[in-house]
Chain A
Amino acid sequence: MSITLILFWFLSVLALFSAAMVVASKNPVYSVLWLILVFFAISGHYLLLNAQFLAIVNIIVYAGAIMVLFLFVIMLMNLNKSNEPKRNKWLNLAGVLAGGCLLLVLVAALKNAETKATLAETGTGNIGLIENLGKALFTDYVVPFEISSVLFLSAMVGAVVLGKKESSPDTAGQSGKSSEK
C-alpha cells in the first residue's frame, strides 16, 4: 500500500467523518469547526492531486474567509445548542434514508461506468500550479473572470440593500402592512 493510497484513505475518512459530524453536531459552532476540518481534508486531497493552487485557495477562501464569516454570524446571533430547533425523528429518518438511497442509486449506476479503469493522476502533472492556472485564467478564461465581477458587484449591492438601515421607516412600514393583507 503506497503512501498515496494511505493518505487518500486517511483524508477520505477524515472528510467523511467530519462532514458527518457537521451534520450531527447540535451546536452550530461545532458544526463550523467540523466543516473547517472537512475543508482541510479536501485541501489535502487537492494536494494529493497536485492541485496546489486550489488547495491553498480552498483554505484561504473557505476555511479562512467563509467560515469565519459563518462564525461571526453565529456568534452575533448567539446561537447555541439550546436554541437549536427541535427535530422530528421520523422526518430525520426519512431524510437519511432518502440521501442514502440517492447515494446508493448513483453509486450503483456509476460503478460500472467507463471511467472504472481510468486513473486520476496523483502527484504528477503541473496543471494545478499557480503559473499554469493563472495563465489560463487570464487568457482563455478572462471573459468569465470579468463576468464574475458582475456577480460580486451584485452581491455587494445586495449587501448594501439588505444591510443599510431604512431611512424612512414610514414607507417601508406602509408597504409592509399593505402586503400583509
Chain B
Amino acid sequence: MNALIISAVWGVVMMFSGILLKQRSGIRNLAVAGLVLLLVSNILEMSGTVFFKVELKGMIVFDRFALFFDSIIFASALIYLFLSARDMEKVGVNYAEYFALIFFILCGITLVASFKSLLILFLGIEIVSIPLYILTGSEKKNLKSNEASLKYLLLGSFSTAIMLMGIAFVYGATGSFMSAEIIASPGTVSALLIAGMTLLLFSMAFKASVVPFHFWAPDVYDGAPTVFASFMATIVKAASFIAFIRLFNDLFGDMKPEWQLWMAVLTAATLFVGNITAVFQQSVKRMLAYSSVAQAGFMMFSLYAMNTDAVEGLLLYVAAYSLATIGIFAVLNKMSDYTFDGFNGFAKSQPVLAASTTICLLSLAGIPLTAGFLSKFYMLRAAIDTHKNLWLVIFAVVMAAVSVYYYFRLIQAMYFREGNAHEIEVTPVFKWTMVVVAALVILLGIFPNLLLYWFYF
C-alpha cells in the first residue's frame, strides 16, 4: 500500500518538478529520492509498518510475495536510475515527465503484482502500458521510435481487447472478478471458463512477449529510446510475468491440466524463436531484444511448473535478469554504434565497464557463479520436479547453449577484436554502479539466499 500511494503521488510530484526545478540534476535527484523512499517504505511494509490504511475490499492484497517482488523492482529501478537517468536527457526535452511516467508505471506494477481482482489487473496493466506507449514514442523525430510506438500501441490495444474478452468469459462463468470467488465458484470447469482462461493466456503471453505473441517486443525494444527499452525489457517484463504467474496460480491454479500443456508449448516456442533469431542479429540492441524474448522462455518455466520452486525461482530470475540486462543496456546506451562491431576493442578503452558487462553477459548466458545460473537452475529444477515433459528441459538447455553464441559474440567483440570503440565518457558514478551491478550478479550467484532469505523471514 505504501508503494502504491507513494509512487502515484511521486509521479505527480515529478510532473510539477519539471516546472519548479530548472536544474536537470535536481529533477534527477528528486526522482532518486522518490525511489529510495519507495524502496524504504516498501521494505518497512514488509516488516509491518504500513503508512496508509485504506479499505481495499480485498481487491488488492499486499502479501509477502507482492511486497518482495516490489522491492526487487524498486531496487532494480534505483540501479536503473543511477545508470541511465542521465541518458534520458538525450531522448527529448520532457525530462521531468519521463520520470513522472516511470513512477506511474511503477504504480501500475505494484498493482499487477498484488491484484486480487481482474479489474485491478486490467487497470494495472493499462497503467503500465499507456505510459510505455508514450515513452516508446518519446523520441519524436526518430522514425524508429515513432514506428515502435505505433506498433506497440496497436498491438497492445489488440491484446487488451483479447484480455477483456477473456475476463468477460471468466465473469460469465463464475459471476465475479475476485479471485477468491472465482476459485470458490461451484461446478465443473466450464467451456466458458476455459475459453476465458485461454484468452487471458494469450493476452498475458502478449504482455510477457511469449512466442507467438512476441512480435511486438523486438521491434519495440529496438525502436524505443535505449534508456526506455532497457526499462521495458527488464522491469516491465518482470511485472508482466508476476501478473502472469499470479493470474494462473491464484485464479486458474485448479485448472492446471487445461493449461500446462500450452505453457510447455509456448515455452518451447519462445525459447526456440528467441534464441534462434538472436543468433543472426547484427545490432546489439536488437540482439538484446531477442534475448529478452529468449529469457522470457526460461521464465515461462515457472508458469509451466507452477510450484514453490517456480515462484521462488521466478523472483530470483527477475532480479538476476533485470540486473544484468539493465547493466548491458546502460553500457549500450553510451555507445555511438549499436552493432557488434561497435564494441570492438571496448575492453581496451574501458576495462572496468567491459568486465562488468562481461559478467552481466555471463549471467544472462547462465554461467555458474552468476545469478543467471542459479535462476535458470531454479527454473529447470522446477520443471524437472513436475516429472513430465523432460524433453522441454533438454530443449531448453540446448537453447541455452545457442544463447551462448550471441552473448559471447559481444564478449568477443569487446575483448578479442581489434577495434576503434569510440572513446565514451562515463561518470565515476556510472562506473561504480556498473561494478556494483556486476558484484551483485556474482553475489547472488554464490549466495542467492541473501535475496531469498527476505522472502521467508
Contacts and interface: CB of A to CB of B under 8 A. Distances in A.
Give yes or no for direct A-B contact (beta carbon below 8 Å): yes
A179 B192 contact: no
Contacts of B140: 162, 166, 172
B192 A144 contact: no
A168 B140 CA distance: 12
Interface string A65-98: 0000000000000000000000000000000000
A176 B131 contact: no
Interface string B416-443: 0000000000000000000000000000
B139 A173 contact: no
A114 B190 contact: yes
A101 interface: no
A168 B111 CA distance: 36
Contacts of B142: 175-176, 179-180
B449 interface: no
B12 interface: yes
A154 B127 contact: yes
Given A161-B134, A179-B139, A113 B191 contact: yes
A169 interface: yes
Contacts of B55: 143
Interface stretch (B70-78, B88-96, B237-245, B250-258): B88-96
A157 B105 CA distance: 12
A50 to B, nearest CB: 18
A134 B92 CA distance: 42
Interface in A121-166: 140-141, 143-144, 147-148, 150-151, 153-155, 157-158, 160-162, 164, 166
Interface residues of A, number: 38
B59 A161 contact: no
Interface in B42-98: 54-57, 59-60, 89-94, 97-98
B157 to A, nearest CB: 13
B169 to A, nearest CB: 8
A2 interface: no
Contacts of A167: 93
Task: Give the dominant DSSP class at A's interface.
Answer: helix
B338 interface: yes
B107 interface: yes
A119 interface: no
Interface string B338-373: 100000000000000000000000000000000000
Contacts of A154: 11, 100-101, 104-105, 127, 130-131, 134
Interface string B112-132: 000001011001001100110
Contacts of A140: 57
A157 B134 contact: yes
B172 A157 contact: no
B134 A181 contact: no
B317 interface: no
Contacts of A114: 187, 190-192
Nearest to B126: A151
A28 B346 CA distance: 52
Given A110-B195, A179-B225, A157 B93 contact: no
Contact of B190 (A113, A166, A180): A113
Contact of A155 (B130, B138, B226): B130
Interface of B: 8, 11-12, 15, 54-57, 59-60, 89-94, 97-98, 100-101, 104-105, 107-108, 111, 117, 119-120, 123, 126-127, 130-131, 133-134, 137-142, 144-145, 172-173, 187, 190-192, 194-195, 225-226, 336-338
26 contacts: A109-B195, A110-B191, A113-B191, A144-B59, A144-B119, A147-B120, A147-B123, A150-B8, A150-B104, A151-B123, A153-B104, A154-B11, A154-B101, A154-B131, A154-B134, A158-B101, A158-B133, A164-B94, A172-B140, A175-B91, A176-B145, A179-B139, A179-B142, A179-B225, A180-B144, A181-B337
